[in-house]
Structure formats: structure tokens, C-alpha cells
Amino acid sequence: MFKYIGIFLLSLMLVGCASNKAKFDIRTQTVAYKDLSNIQSPEGEPIIIAVYDFLDMTGQKKPGGNFASMSTAVTQGSYQLLIKALQDAGEGKWFRVVERTSLPSLLQERKLIRSTRQQVNGEGAEPLPPLLFAGAYITGGIVGYDSDIKSGGLGARILGIQSNRQYRQDIVTIILRLVNVQTGEVVLTTTVEKTIVSTSVGGDIFKYFDADTLLLEVEAGYARNEPVTFAIRKAIEKGVVDIINLGVDKGLWEFEPIKEVEVPEIKDYVDTDIVVGLGEEGVEKTYEDYLIEKERAKEERKKKIQAEIEAEKEWNELDKQTEENADEKDNDGDSDSSSDTN
């Protein structure tokens, strides 16, 4: 019996490691968030932009088993995901998002502040600063959710042992539009599709033992589904990146110029006053010439030493003569003094 269980587990591992695993692994899906945060900074101040709505336009309901589900297939909070993506663009250097969906609540709160200040300070109450206005706003929505675009599987059965692997692909589609507030013109539009992958691996054993009197039945498996909200968030972030790049292509805004690093030239480190001597006429010297100059320098040093010795001898003789002359003068002085005494 343990032998059959080992065969079952081995077949389950083989199916799970099938060659098409990497193709449908959700870890291989494109992630736009890294591009969103690492995008090049804009030239100048961040752009003030408004977001009014970003709705679910699919009308799809979450798929159920044998009953009707009232839950929607996609998130209803995509508006919040869009605001977060705009704030994260270029680490917050691209956009300043102003609140518009809850604008009535905002105006009501400002009204309460003004009335409270007037009650406390009277007519001299400090007024509130004006609200920021946007030169453009972004709108759009989730326009498509297509399920079971591609599905399939792989399985095997032998001697009552079965193992299988199945996959399914769905696609969610979003649209983003940038509208000019002054003219009402739709300046930029982009469409992004994101694949949603679901996989499942399972197996079972159905085997009789002991002359068909003992039945063994074992089932095992697991499923992995990519979150739909995760896919929508990545699609929105990819759409924001596309909007930025399209705006740069149309000249609506520009990337910050890349600062060039000045690399000093090698000649700046070379001393131009250094002169390399190669002889009297710039001819390269041979080894024989080098030996001749060495002997010549040696003879010159000998002559210099001999001249110093001769000069020292002359100084010694001159000192000796000076001492002898001094002794003679002393002797003459003594003889003159003795004659005067007599």
C-alpha cells in the first residue's frame, strides 16, 4: 500500500513541475509598480490634477457554483487605487491630487469653519485660503472583465492513481483619459489589459487491496488564484505610467534633464612642463653611449677629488709657511731686546 502512495505522490510532483508551469505562473506577470516609482522626475513643480470617478463598467458578477452571486467580479474601490497610483508616480514628484469625489463634504466642513471663526472673532475672522483648482482631470473606468479566455490542463492515470493540473486565464481591461479643463478636450487616452491566472493541482488514489476486500481512496490538491484587485491595481499603475509617457511625447510636460557628470580629461593631469631628454639632437642613446658617459663622469669625479686634495695641500703649506715666518719674527725680537740691555 505504501508503494502505491509513493507512486501517487511522485506523479503529483511530476505534473506540478510540468513544462508549462512557468508560462502560467503568476509570478511571471508584469509588475508596473516598480516602473511607476522609478519613473524619471518631471521638470518643474508637480502637476495639480483632479480625479472625479473611476467606476466599474463591466456589470460582471463574481462567478459562483450552482447559485447566483450578488458580489461584483471586480473591486468597487478602483477610484482610491487611481489616486494612490497618481501620488506614487515618481515618488510623489509628478502629481498633486485634489479631492473632488467628496467635494460636498469638503465644502460643508469649510462652511462650518468659517461660521465658527465668525462667532469667535466676529467680522475680523481670518478667511480660509482658496481651494486648489486643477488644469486637468483624469477619468475612466474598468471596461472589461473576460473570464475563461484560455483554460486547459494535464493529467495522468495508472492503476487507479491519478494526477492532474489545470489552469485558467482571465483578462481585465481599464481605460484612462486625461481631459483639459479649459477646453474640455480629451488630451490623452490609454488602454491597459492585465492577465489574471488561476492554477490548480490535484490527484487521487482509488485502489482495492486484499482480494478486493480493502479499499483505499485518497485525494489531495491545491489551487492558486491571482487576486483580481491586485491585477486591477497593477493595470491602473501601468496606465498612469503610459499617461506620463504619452504627455511627454505630445509636449504637455517634460522629464527633468539628466545631469551630465563632467569627467576630466587625462591631459588635465599631465604636466606639460616636463621635458624628456633624448640627447643633444633628440636622438635616442644606445647602451654604448651610456657606458661612455658613465666612464666620463667617473673621470670627472676623480679629477674633482684630486683638485680638492691639491688645494688642501696648498692650504697646509701656506699655513706652515705662515707659522715659520711668525717664529722668525719672534726670534728677531728676542735678539734685539738682549742687545739693548747690554
All structural domains of the chain with their residue ranges: 2-250, 276-333
Mean pLDDT, to the nearest integer, of 216-229? 83
Topology of the domain covering 2-250 = Rossmann fold (3.40.50)
Across the chain, mean pLDDT equals: 78
pLDDT digits (tens, 9 = 90+) for 19-53: 444 344 444 444 456 788 888 889 889 999 999 88
Give Cα separations from 245 to 42, 45, 75, 237, 305 (angstroms): 11, 17, 27, 13, 85
**Better pLDDT: 330 or 114:** 114
Contact 235, 193 (CB under 8 A): yes
Q: With bands split at pLDDT 50, 70 and 90, how would you rate the model's confidence at 223?
A: confident
The answer on pLDDT for 308 being more than 80 is yes
Predicted local confidence at residue 47, as pLDDT: 92
Q: How far, in Å, CA of 241 to CA of 193, rounded? A: 14
Residue-level pLDDT at 265? 60
Quote the pLDDT of residue 143. Answer: 92
- Better-predicted residue by pLDDT, 217 or 98: 98
DSSP 90: G
19 compared with 65, residue with greater pLDDT: 65
Q: Which range among 16-20, 83-87, 163-167, 304-308 has the greatest average pLDDT?
A: 83-87
Average pLDDT over residues 252-268: 72
The kind and range of the H/E element at 173 are: strand 161-180
